[in-house]
Chain A
Amino acid sequence: MTDAHAPDSGQYYVPHHSPWPIFGSVTLFTVMLGAIVYLNDWLGLWALIPGALLLATLFFLWFSTVIDENQRGIYNLQVDRSFRMGMMWFIFSEVMFFAAFFGALFYARVLSVPWLGGAGTKMFTNYVLWPHFDGTWPSNGPGHVGGRADASFNVMNPFGIPALNTLILLTSGFTVTMAHHALRSARRTPLAVWLALTFLLGFTFVGFQAYEYGEAYREMGLRLTTGIYGSTFFMLTGFHGLHVSIGAIMLTVIWLRVLRGHFTPQRHFAFEAVSWYWHFVDVVWLGLFVFVYWL
């Protein structure tokens, strides 16, 4: 359908009617309907399944079309540039999404928790409403929300698994760069190896993170419901982990494409897009490590 007629690659390729956008919208709608009926307790968790299936199908079919068009060489350099710019700005929007949660973290640490402890102009807040709260971080708030049975909780030691994970992600940033170098100098085997290393490191990261979560929930009283600390901790690291997973899956797809002989030393937009994404995930992690775990 999308290949109705392929102009020569000298011309900017404008696809002629495509079913994927509307399919995509219906998919998103289904995903959200599933989430709505689940959250409102109208149906069980299985209500999310149709959406998930559609989503997987959507990605598979839409990307297949694009990859196919790309392999047939109908994208000229200008189209390539469009894709690049598009990806860059998409990543920027992701950065801003994380910024909202970092903002929440800073607000809690610098303003709301100290205020509840009576800092600044909020003396009476502490004196009248929360008389025994000292307002130090980490905190699950003056109401001691969540945590263990006695409302206590522990924070993660930054120099255990988190430091290890930092190392893993930084290494994976290095390996993906090595893969890029290999691609540019047309050395396919090292390319495949470096790339495989990268996503393996990625999945390892996710594995460690899952282990860490398990420990936090079972032993440390650190849960999503553990006041503002737990909220910011899990929302930030959770969304990050989700992005690492997505990134690792994308890297795997790129790896499969490499095995199939896709990409040339000059033209490999998809590879670069995914590696940018990977670096972005990496940088976000550094922010997390410093502001969530360490300081």
Chain B
Amino acid sequence: MADSHAHAAHAHDDHDHKPHGWRRWVFATNHKDIGTMYLILSGTMFFIGGLAAMGIRAELFSPGLQFFDPQFFNSLTTMHGLIMIFGAIMPAFVGLANWMIPMQVGAPDMALPRLNNFSFWILPFAFTLLIGSFFVPGGAPAGGWTMYPPLVVQTGAALPMLVFAVHLMGMSSILGAINIIVTIMNMRAPGMTLLRMPLFVWSWLITAYLLIAVMPVLAGAVTMLLTDHFFGTSFFTAAGGGDPVMFQHIFWFFGHPEVYIMILPAFGIVSEIIPTFSRKPLFGYEAMVYAIASIAFLSFIVWAHHMFTVGMPLAAQLFFMLSTMLIAVPTGVKVFNWVATMWKGSLSFEPPMLFALAFVFLFTIGGFSGLMLAMVPADYQYQDTYFVVAHFHYVLVTGALFSIMAAVYYWLPKWTGHMYSLRLGTWHFWLSTIFVNVLFFPQHFLGLAGMPRRIPDYAVQFTDWNRVSSIGAFGFGLSQLLLLYLIIQCVRGGARIGNRAWEGAHGLEWELSSPPPFHSWTEAPSDAMVARGAAH
């Protein structure tokens, strides 16, 4: 285990001209510095988005209105969704990509370092606009993160802020994705063939393609909202020959791939961690790659499963139902491969592994409810209820977010050179996992019993399960303070570790010192190192 490496001292003095002070961050071109900034931004946004969620859960603790005007409640929901998706989850994955991909493929840095910094620095401004919209006349956007017209066009002065914030986030994602693709395709060390790449790299490569394909479409969709409101176009009004539902088609053409953008890197992370702590190579490496690619492909032809109730023709509903169901097959392949990786392994349960295991269990539960949602007639009953809310929090919180936590626990020793307190990490895991289920599992019941989503107040028969859910929410939220504490403690100091923080870890990042040198691979890694890393 980690401690056994603690003596492996490594006085690596980086004599690179590392800039100091604020310039190091503001003018950064280093992939690790930029990665760190992404992760810090993500953490901040997670706390802000989480605070909004706490507001939601507090209002929903009891029937009747206790704290917020309904309009403000809708703003909370909308901003919670937008901030969590665009502010917490996506930047976290990009931050991990920044940190890990150059190290994992044997590159000195990202291919386009200045562009990299640009991608990052767009984001704080985007969120300034988005969060700033709380303070303008008419209040923050309150039409849901899905921004459906005509409702969203009733937004006050915040409408252009919302649209431009989305433009900025899109720009950042596109530039970031371009950089990642180019890094992977052009910066691999000699010998690092495509099919030797770690799965995290593979998953990001495919995710980056998805991003480039769909973020511009979202930009187009919100541009149409803007022109409909300010310049008199008729994209989404029937009187002019448009259709409000057209927005939904364009939005979900982005939106569904978007949810896979938030889960494919998670698959990659879990595929790194499970083999490490099973001390056994990943089962079915190639099948895993093909599965990711199939999921990405299918994600483009399932979008209308979010719109079964809008009155589409029967044939369209059937098509989207069947294509959606198909996604269960490659996703199943992934789940089965993870299980097979553990089979006849030699398992140990450090925090990264615990989170990865919880991911497999709980994401699968979220996948099952997704499958139920895909049955059109049944979706007529589930759509826009808390059943959907339960579904997507299982895939997003216990899926995407848990994978990010697993990744942080996995690579934090590499980043800092210190081992964190495993005991504290284990506590954080159990508290999070218990509370998150208390938080989201009852929402299945609420949804089935008929509680719609996006409401600040409810019929009294929903009281009990809402209380349970709220208690879970507060517990889950407070548990995250442990994580914060643990990270700060680990950055500050702790037992030194050697290159290979975990006994079973494979991959080029573990060939570098901990913490790694400022420029990762100024000399390309040796063939032996590449081969050792790619032992699958």
Contact = CB atoms under 8 A, between A and B. Distances in A.
A96 B215 CA distance: 8
A35 B215 contact: no
Nearest to B254: A100
A24 B33 CA distance: 19
Given A22-B117, A227-B234, A230-B233, A113 B241 contact: yes
Interface in A1-16: 1, 4-5, 11-12, 14-16
A93 interface: yes
A28 B123 CA distance: 11
Contacts of B367: none
Interface stretch (A138-146, A161-169, A275-283): A138-146
Interface string B24-39: 1011110000000000
A92 B230 CA distance: 29
A99 to B, nearest CB: 7
A192 to B, nearest CB: 30
B213 interface: yes
A103 B238 CA distance: 17
Contact of A100 (B26, B179, B250, B522): B250
Given A85-B185, A231-B235, A235-B233, A39 B216 contact: no
B109 A4 contact: no
A104 B252 CA distance: 13
Interface stretch (B1-9, B88-96, B220-228, B355-363): B220-228
Interface in B135-177: 136, 157, 160-161, 164, 167-168, 171, 174, 177
Contacts of A17: 19, 23-24, 27-29
A224 B233 contact: yes
Nearest to B26: A22
A78 B186 contact: yes
A32 B160 CA distance: 9
A160 interface: no
Interface in B184-223: 185-187, 212-217, 219-221, 223
A20 B181 CA distance: 22
Among A17, A145, A230, max chain B CB count under 10 A is at: A17
B249 interface: yes
B257 to A, nearest CB: 11
Contacts of A35: 160, 164
B6 to A, nearest CB: 32
Contacts of A74: none
B246 interface: yes
B253 interface: yes
A112 interface: yes
Contacts of A32: 129, 164, 167-168
Interface residues of B, number: 78
B344 interface: no
B118 interface: yes
A83 B187 CA distance: 12
A94 interface: yes
B216 A93 contact: yes
Given A146-B232, A235-B233, A86 B178 contact: yes
A97 B235 contact: no
A217 to B, nearest CB: 13
Nearest to A24: B118
Contacts of B214: 96
A121 B227 CA distance: 30
Contacts of A261: none
A97 B217 contact: yes
A96 B178 CA distance: 14
Contact of B221 (A15, A20, A89, A100): A100
A103 B249 contact: yes
A20 B114 contact: yes
Contacts of B121: 21-22, 24-25
Contacts of A12: 107-109, 187
Contact of A104 (B115, B212, B235, B311): B235
Interface string A42-85: 00000000000000000000100000000000000010011101
Contact of B233 (A39, A83, A121, A231): A231
Contacts of A113: 241
Nearest to A36: B160
B239 A4 contact: no
Contacts of B168: 28-29, 32
Contacts of A14: 29, 108-109, 113, 519
A269 to B, nearest CB: 13
Among A1, A112, A116, max chain B CB count under 10 A is at: A112
Contact of B241 (A16, A28, A120, A142): A142
A22 B29 CA distance: 11
A150 B217 CA distance: 35
A103 B250 contact: yes
A96 B212 contact: yes
B160 A40 contact: yes
Contacts of A263: none
Contacts of B186: 78, 81-82, 85
Q: What are the nearest 6 A-B pairs in CB distance?
A: A100-B220, A143-B239, A141-B241, A228-B241, A17-B27, A225-B232
